[in-house]
Structure 1
Amino acid sequence: MVEAAASVIAVEAYRDGRNLISYVTKKFDYADDLDMNYKRLKEESDRLFARREDIEAQVQRDKTKKMSKECEAWFYRVKVIEQEVMKLENEFNKGKKRTWRKRYILSRSNLSRRMVKMCEELHSLWVDARVETEVAVEKPPEPVRLINGPKIENKSSLHLAIAEVRGHLRDRDVKRVGVWGMYGIGKTTILQNLNDDEEIGKMFDIVIYVCASKDNCIETLQCAISRRLKLHVEGNDDAARSCWPVDMEVDEFINVKRLSEDDAWKMFREKVGRNINLPGVEPIARLVVNECAGLPLLIDRVARNFRKKDNIYLWRDGLRSLRRWPNVKIHGMDEVLEFLRFFYDDLDDGTKNCFLYGALYPEDYDIFVDYLLECWKARGFMGDVIDFIEARERGHSILRDLIDVSLLERSERMKYVRMNKVIRNMALKISSESKFSTFLVQAQSGEGLHKPPKEDEWKGVTEISLIDNKLHSLPEKVECEGLRTLLLQKNHDLTLIPESFFRSMQKLQVLDLYGSGIKSLPSSISSLTNLTALYLNSCSDLMELPADMRSLINLEILDIRGTGLSYLPVQIGHLLHLRCLRISLSKSCMGSLLEQSKLAQISQNVISGLSLLEELVIDVDPHNLWWDGVVKAVTEQVATLTKLTSLSFCFPSIDCLKIFVTSSSLWKDFSFTFRFSVGYHESTAYKILEHFEYEIFRCLRYVNGEGVNHVISEVLAEAEVFELIHHKGISSITEFGMDSINKMRGCLIEGCTDIVSIINGAHTVEASLGCLEKMVIKNAPRLLSIFSGPLHSGSLARLTTLSIYNCPKLLKIFSSGVVQQLSELQQLRVEECQEIREIIVGVENIGLETGCLPKLKMLILENLPKLRSIWVDDSLEWPSLEGVTVYMCHSLIRLPFGKSNAINLKYIKGQIAWWRKLEWAEDGTRERLQKIFFIFNQ
């Protein structure tokens, strides 16, 4: 056993000895190879670092790309190993300074071994770089590419447009916003400033600004957008079109307004520079600015032209030339004319005529749309259209085309358009070059003409406009056989038209004498056998129509509202081609009762012969006695008209209304429009319509009625707006029946003494007034609440405006459950309600969601002496609220605003004494709101 054990020990000792010898030998080998391994280390590291530099250069060459994530990781590994290599080199260099004696062999060997291992790692990294498949990738597009567009500090209209865009972009429901306006108005400037806007940059991951090409090529836009997004779209144009659908429909339109007079002056003065301060120049300069029509581009071009004028003579001459432009050339402005002419040339012939016709009216003159379309039809610009309803539809299409290219623009008044000075000048220049249509336009020129144009100026002219002058007379006789249009409206001093004046105007188609002072029409009116449209409205001194009127055999439009007529003239019955008749009957009725009775017998059959009549308006003064005697017969005749599409009529009683609705087969047709007034009212205007931004076609007014009548309910079911005035015998409008009121878009309730609540939930089993948008309540002495009883989901879902005036017993506006329904409410006005204490009742709305009333923009509170609270605290967000007006609400000492809600609030108007008494829950709230407080001026 001892020998075996000794043998084993000997074997192990032999192995250990050999291992030790091998270990020591390797140490000496590593130590001997140190210089060689160092050289190899340098070679491998130099090669790796050279590869790194090549990759960096490759990435830098293409600014649109950046390193891939994989490449970034490789660079990090190289950076780490570079530090290790530097350590090895430092250690090697330190060793060279001392003699490598035997005692240093171990450290020398370890250093050499680590170099060998490092060389392997360096080589591995170099190999990884050589097989790297994606050194660089596309950089993500920059969030914003700044354009540094023109400054707009002095252009409030552009500021407003930008603010409006911001507001729409905050609305998650708005996906597309359209900014439009005429050439040179500042659209490009707005978009460039929007691109650079910091607030908008924070709203989106990326802001893209691309320019549309002149040929409006969709593919060009698509390519520009894809380049900005760094997307690669392969395929032909058709494929691109199918992959990139472009929908030009927008959710919100923003119409860029022209610069105000002050802004235009500031811009012009800045552009002109020091010459604006020359003695006597400023008055002339302001006239120059006026010629630019508030268009920034034109102001810029004109200012450049006037910048070099260094004396008053040059300024006067420049103004004189500018007023003759575009008939004379002015340096730098031709491009404006050429661009506008481009839009005109792209129109078809009929639309061109319609556009040029707009130049007959004074610059920036509000033109009533329906009237303009009638003139277009009368002049034959719509081709072979016969029916009025079709003519209006086609006319609106033409109007839209002209507005879309900014050759016409919408007025601030609904249903009106206008043509600005620059466009009008271009239109007049084009008409002056035409061989087929020649204009004589002296409309509102300077202070107004006192004398008519000379007789030779009338010759060869097709359209004459002398609107809004101070004419006292007209020529006895003029030679104008080709005249088609004669516009003489608003010549208040024109009281007499010579007897022979119309004799040579056989081709006349449109004659407008609106608002003139004439007392009669001359006998030569019978010469106008081709007359299609005759406007005598607001000729208040005109008491009768001449017998010769029956000669107007082609007359289609006759407007005699606002005259002194108090009965239906029998001459109208002979105008068999009449398609549109508008008449109002004044209170004055000459003659004895016997004469009136005979007149009634003669003229009550006037309507029956007008079989082509499509549109009929009969307004009646409540004091007109003649109407009471004939209204039943006239109503029966109106009910028999088979082509009628529009009727505005005064029914003195429900019985007359019943005659019409039971006899007529047309009035319920979807295309039939009506304005029915039952009972007499001092005003023919529907006040509720003032609150709408679009046209309403079916209106019902019920005055001095009592209780509920099934005929009213039947008509109400077809009506879009309802005015209930001085009514008795009902406590709520729900008594008319939910089926009758649920289509209403607008409702006015005024002077109804028995109304207690507007909607009584006890009478309903489903949503109430789901279509209602506008509600106005006035002078309701017993009204206790707007809504009583349960209010079902979906009720008032579209209500945008609620106005309440003089309801002395009304205690609260929004009781339990009401606020949650009003997601569309934009304006709330409450005035002269002495008992109101709370707008939103706190105890009835516990746990109210902070986002309620999300679209409320305007809050107006006036003469509410007991009002204590709008809402109990500042917990509501008020995200859309822009303006608050508080007047004579002395008990209201807290506002529902803090430091962080109502972020879009632009102003608070009120009395200074009230403002000083307000209490604030947070210290910073007053400082924040003080900046937007303005003293209320009633």
Structure 2
Amino acid sequence: MPQVKFWAFSFPTRVVEAAMDSVFFEMVKKAGAQTIIDMMNKAWGQLNHYRSLNENLEKLKSEMEGLSCQMEDVEEELRREEILRGKKRKSEVELWLQNVKKTKNEVHSIEEELQGQRWISRYSLAPHVEKKITKVVNLKKEGIFSNGLVVDPMTDVGVYLLTTPLVGQTTAKKALETIWNSLKDVKIGKIGVYGMGGVGKTTIMKHINNRLKLKEAQLFDNVIWVTVSKELSLERLQTDISKGIQLNFSEDDDEVMRSAKLCVALMRRKKFVLILDDMWEAFPLERVGIPEPNQDNGCKIVFTTRDQRVCRCMESHINIKVEVLSDEEAWDLFKDKVGGDEVLSPDVQGIAKNIVRKCGGLPIAIITVGRALRQVFNVKVWENALYELKCSSAEIKGMDGDVTALLKFSYERLRNDQVKACFQYCALYPEDYEISTEELIEHWMGEGFIDEIRSREARINKGQAILAELIDTCLLETAEKYLFNRVKMHDLIRDLAISITRVNPLFIVKAGVKLKEEPKDDEWIQNVNSVSLMSNDLKRLSGQPNCPKLSTLLLHQNFKLVSVNNSFFQYMLGLKVLNLSNAGIDTLPTSLSDLENLHTLLLEGCYKLKLVPTLEKLKKLQVLNLSGASIRELPLGIEQLVNLKCLDLSHTTDLMIFQAGVMPKLSFLEDFSMYGSSCKWSCNNNEGNRIDEIIRMEQLVNLKLVFEDLRSFSKYVEKEMWKELKSFHFVIRASWLTYHVPPSKFFIEMSREGGLFGNENLPLFFPDNTLRLDLKEYHNIYRLSQPSVILSNVTKLEECHIKQCIFITCILKAEEDTLLPTLQRLVLDNLPWLTTLCEGVMPLGTLACLKVIEISECPRLKYVFQLGLLLNLQNLEEITVRNCEHMEKLMAEEGEEKSEANNNNNRTITLPKLRQLKLTHLPKLKSICKGVLICDSLHTIEVSRCNKLNKIPLSISNRSSVLEGNITGETEWLNALEWFDLDTKELLQPLLKDDKE
């Protein structure tokens, strides 16, 4: 008989007895014909599994820890690539992350199941442990993405452009439809659109652009809009087109290489439409890198021009002329602009029709003259207007005399020389340049165009009023992307301004023309008033121009400018405004020290600037901006700037000390900013940065400071000098800064940077008028309503961001008196111990004005809203919840989170203003709410990676709603979704999307 291996080893008596009792005899009894020896060998194998189970379990834990660390590294790299570089994670990476998280949960389940189990149960799991080890090891190998984690995102179809309604429903619409039909015609590749200046070509093409972008009209993969400069530069044109397709050129690329790269990139876009607006001369497509449109590639090129010869030279397949308005359309437009029939009395009407005829059907002229005469009832004024219109004369390239006269008429009607000077000043900026209104008004004030007897704030307001006047008269227009922060000049209007400034005042304008060499000394006309060399490629200014009457010199945005001759400013002693911002210089010329008439000195963004000559003679200086400079100490003589009203030292990261005794001498200072500076203000520093000096500056209006600690901040708040401020931005010790979000007028940022503020029991007092409060890594707080955080007096708080505060468990508690009744936006991010928004039943009025709530990375939060709180949130417009791994419900009834006994599925919840609902990566989310959520204002819904959510309980009775967004998941999940009613299902059905597509 063969020897039995089972008895070859010595096992603990307890194990053997268990095996004999539980396995061996049971197996013998069931074996039937099997021999005892076979059964013993089988028992040996089973006991051997048991013996190695603990070793494998430890190995599994070790491998899983390594895999978890690998996953965290991948996720960190993804966050950096997606947020900072706008990249998109690869699908294989996303699938790997899902598999790792799934495996992690499975391993955790095995560990829990093994705890406290009997031998038989533990034995049965041994093969599962071995399989999981193999799976984890394989995942670690698969997680080495040698080809990278991310890819470039797909470009959008195009950019939606703001525009005005079409003027002339017959004329303009006819041209638009002709262009549209030509785009749909496969035989037409190049379309020329021509007409006189100001006739409305650009407006029509903006409507075409926006129609192409609409989803239901997507005939093309890409729509690229480029405004072409009068002074055609193929390099600039290549750059502008490349921006539309997110193509980056190397600095070493020449024209040929750029052309080749651009051509390849465009051809990859398959069908595209390239709109070239305002062309003044033709160019060969191949030199730029634009593929020739044909039926095979389906591409189109549309260009607008004032000269039909450009269309011929570009070999367009069809030329479409945009005609001026008919008499009837022109009259209707003019009536609308002057204020309707009540202005056009019988005595005025005949004169008005003569004026309209003089406008020649040109929309820009009709609008300009019409606004100039709006709500004017005096017949004599109308007669004078017609006379001036007939007598006005000037010549502008590209326009006939009548149109020139019309535009100049609008200029002549500006109410005074002050406003005219402000208008002329805009000609110093490059063609099609989007001018910062803040910078423009700063220049106007420096020139003295705005009365100096007023306070700085009043003068800025006056500047805004002048801007509004110029916009209202169509001499300036609001830049599309920036709304009211930037303006631009129509090119015809800019031509008018330049023609005026060729004589008096005398301007030299060479802005934005890629100038690489400075003008020679004899090109600097001696009696010139203003010179603009901004936005060029100048590297040196080595001359010594003799311009005693020069008042403004714009040199900013010459990023390559590294050297300015020490005597460059020697013969510019009348200079009032000098803008050298965003230059690469590290030293300012010593001749700057003699500019005794200088009012405004702007050096913003000169990040290499370390040495500034003495400023002691610049006693008329009112504005000094050194933000971003690398200075290590204050310029010599700064205490002599007794008329200084604005001092900007923000982001001066090398500046550590603001010497004591300087601040009291700047007795007229109204605006002071050291936001982002390394210079922190304190009540404990006698050498400088003394907060008591700030407290005594009663004339301050706008203040941005970094405080050394909470005690210094509290001292400033106690003195209540903030009550006199029109805006403040206070930072308490934070090294992180809110760069990308426009700060509120009254903004406070707090951080402990992992350290202590000093006295841990020091209460947090805030100015009563605080509008925004940001807390980050502030670990001495567990809720906003705790007694040591004094927010009850802050009656205007509108926005609150709380990030990475590890001890926060809830935001508000019912027993405490902080209700935040004015809060409109609440952002909660990375709060590891947050378990509830509000603890207890909150009183009426709590968060009553809340419009937006954003929650992310709060792993212990199981629900967002309790039903009682929702009754207060009737103004809620946006809900965003993402990456909360234990979130189970969006809305829960009181006590529901602890018990499932309450099954009231018929409850109705109404959020009448809710426009946006976004739920992302909530793996345990099972329910949005019990019953139904009525949200008739809903505009956007996004649900993704919420695989346990089984019902969309929304009711949207407004059938005219056009919903955006998507609901993504696996097909099986999408098909299994339950809906409140069929109408809502039908409305949301187009948004359903398989995440594998």
Counterpart-to-counterpart distance in 2, 1:424 and 1:404: 14
Task: Give the direction of change, closer, same or farther, for the CA distance of 1:829–1:337 in structure 2 (3 Å limit).
Answer: farther
Task: Give the direction of change, closer, same or farther, for the CA distance of 1:707–1:390 in structure 2 (3 Å limit).
Answer: same
Does the 8 A contact of 1:707 with 1:728 survive in 2?
no
Q: CA deviation at 1:437?
A: 2.4
| Seq. identity, % | 25
Q: CA deviation at 1:394?
A: 1.9
Task: Describe how 1:355-504 pairs up with structure 2 within 5 A.
Answer: 355-406=423-474, 407-409=476-478, 412-413=481-482, 416-422=485-491, 425-426=494-495, 428-429=497-498, 431-432=500-501, 435-445=503-513, 448-459=514-525, 460-504=527-571
Does the 8 A contact of 1:651 with 1:676 survive in 2?
yes
Q: Please give the secondary structure, in 1, of the residue aligned with 2:933.
A: coil
Counterpart-to-counterpart distance in 2, 1:833 and 1:340: 62
Task: Describe how 1:113-152 pairs up with structure 2 within 5 A.
Answer: none
Counterpart-to-counterpart distance in 1, 2:937 and 2:758: 41
Counterpart-to-counterpart distance in 1, 2:906 and 2:599: 62
Residue identity matched to 1:759: L
Q: Please give the secondary structure, in 2, of the residue aligned with 1:739.
A: coil
Q: CA deviation at 1:782?
A: 0.9
Question: Which ranges in structure 2 are unaligned for 5 or more consecutive residues?
Answer: 1-156, 174-202, 220-236, 242-272, 281-300, 322-393, 897-901
Mean Cα deviation higher: 367-376 or 706-715? 706-715
2:701 corresponds to: 645
Q: Does 1:869 align with 2:937?
A: no
Does the 8 A contact of 2:679 with 2:706 survive in 1?
no
Task: Give the direction of change, closer, same or farther, for the CA distance of 1:878–1:862 in structure 2 (3 Å limit).
Answer: same
1:616 corresponds to: 672
Task: Describe how 1:283-682 pairs up with structure 2 within 5 A.
Answer: 289-290=277-278, 306=308, 310=312, 312=314, 327-330=396-399, 338=406, 342=410, 345-406=413-474, 407-409=476-478, 412-413=481-482, 416-422=485-491, 425-426=494-495, 428-429=497-498, 431-432=500-501, 435-445=503-513, 448-459=514-525, 460-547=527-614, 549-584=615-650, 586-588=652-654, 603-621=659-677, 634-662=690-718, 666-669=721-724, 671-682=725-736
Residue identity matched to 1:558: L
Counterpart-to-counterpart distance in 1, 2:776 and 2:278: 47
Q: CA deviation at 1:258?
A: 8.7
Q: Does 1:884 align with 2:935?
A: no
Q: Please give the secondary structure, in 2, of the residue aligned with 1:854.
A: coil
Q: CA deviation at 1:893?
A: 3.8
Does the 8 A contact of 1:359 with 1:424 survive in 2?
no
Counterpart-to-counterpart distance in 2, 1:774 and 1:737: 19
Task: Give the direction of change, closer, same or farther, for the CA distance of 1:359–1:551 in structure 2 (3 Å limit).
Answer: same
Counterpart-to-counterpart distance in 2, 1:784 and 1:326: 72
Task: Give the direction of change, closer, same or farther, for the CA distance of 1:470–1:655 in structure 2 (3 Å limit).
Answer: same
Q: CA deviation at 1:936?
A: 7.9
Q: Please give the secondary structure, in 1, of the residue aligned with 2:730.
A: strand
2:827 corresponds to: 776
Q: CA deviation at 1:904?
A: 1.8
Does the 8 A contact of 1:373 with 1:392 survive in 2?
yes
Does the 8 A contact of 1:488 with 1:514 survive in 2?
yes
Q: CA deviation at 1:816?
A: 1.7
Counterpart-to-counterpart distance in 2, 1:806 and 1:494: 46
Task: Give the direction of change, closer, same or farther, for the CA distance of 1:349–1:837 in structure 2 (3 Å limit).
Answer: farther
Counterpart-to-counterpart distance in 1, 2:779 and 2:803: 11
Among 160, 166, 169, the residue aligned to 1:186: 166
Q: CA deviation at 1:518?
A: 0.5
Question: Which ranges in structure 1 are unaligned for 5 or more consecutive residues?
Answer: 1-153, 162-180, 194-255, 270-281, 293-298, 320-324, 590-595
Among 803, 808, 833, the residue aligned to 2:859: 808
Residue identity matched to 1:865: P
Does the 8 A contact of 2:593 with 2:613 survive in 1?
no
Does the 8 A contact of 1:520 with 1:543 survive in 2?
yes
Q: Please give the secondary structure, in 1, of the residue aligned with 2:628.
A: coil
2:750 corresponds to: 702
Residue identity matched to 2:816: H
Does the 8 A contact of 1:568 with 1:606 survive in 2?
no
Residue identity matched to 1:186: L
1:759 corresponds to: 812
Among 873, 883, 898, the residue aligned to 1:832: 883
| 1:617-662 Cα shifts (integer Å, max 9, x gaps) | 1235559899995676532222222321121111111222244345
Q: Taking structure 2 as the reference length, what is the TM-score of the superposition?
A: 0.58
Task: Give the direction of change, closer, same or farther, for the CA distance of 1:638–1:451 in structure 2 (3 Å limit).
Answer: same
Task: Describe how 1:163-182 pairs up with structure 2 within 5 A.
Answer: none
Q: CA deviation at 1:359?
A: 3.5
Q: Please give the secondary structure, in 2, of the residue aligned with 1:395.
A: helix
Let me know the Cα RMSD of the aligned residues: 4.5
Q: CA deviation at 1:374?
A: 1.9
| 1:179-213 Cα shifts (integer Å, max 9, x gaps) | xx7xx6537769x99xxxxxxxxxxxxxxxxxxxx
How many residue pairs get aligned? The number is 650
Counterpart-to-counterpart distance in 2, 1:316 and 1:353: 44
Task: Give the direction of change, closer, same or farther, for the CA distance of 1:546–1:565 in structure 2 (3 Å limit).
Answer: same
Q: CA deviation at 1:339?
A: 6.2
Residue identity matched to 1:436: N
| 1:813-844 Cα shifts (integer Å, max 9, x gaps) | 12122223222222222121111122223686
Among 769, 786, 803, the residue aligned to 2:837: 786
Residue identity matched to 1:666: M
Task: Give the direction of change, closer, same or farther, for the CA distance of 1:752–1:314 in structure 2 (3 Å limit).
Answer: closer
Counterpart-to-counterpart distance in 1, 2:909 and 2:613: 66
| 1:33-73 Cα shifts (integer Å, max 9, x gaps) | xxxxxxxxxxxxxxxxxxxxxxxxxxxxxxxxxxxxxxxxx
Residue identity matched to 1:822: L
Q: CA deviation at 1:863?
A: 2.0
* Bigger Rg, which one: 1
Q: Does 1:929 align with 2:969?
A: no
Task: Describe how 1:29-44 pairs up with structure 2 within 5 A.
Answer: none
Q: CA deviation at 1:747?
A: 0.9
2:961 corresponds to: 904
Task: Give the direction of change, closer, same or farther, for the CA distance of 1:814–1:317 in structure 2 (3 Å limit).
Answer: closer
Residue identity matched to 2:847: L
Does the 8 A contact of 1:723 with 1:749 survive in 2?
yes
| 1:766-785 Cα shifts (integer Å, max 9, x gaps) | x8222111211111111111
Residue identity matched to 1:649: L
Does the 8 A contact of 2:921 with 2:944 survive in 1?
yes
Q: CA deviation at 1:903?
A: 4.5
Q: Please give the secondary structure, in 2, of the residue aligned with 1:464.
A: strand
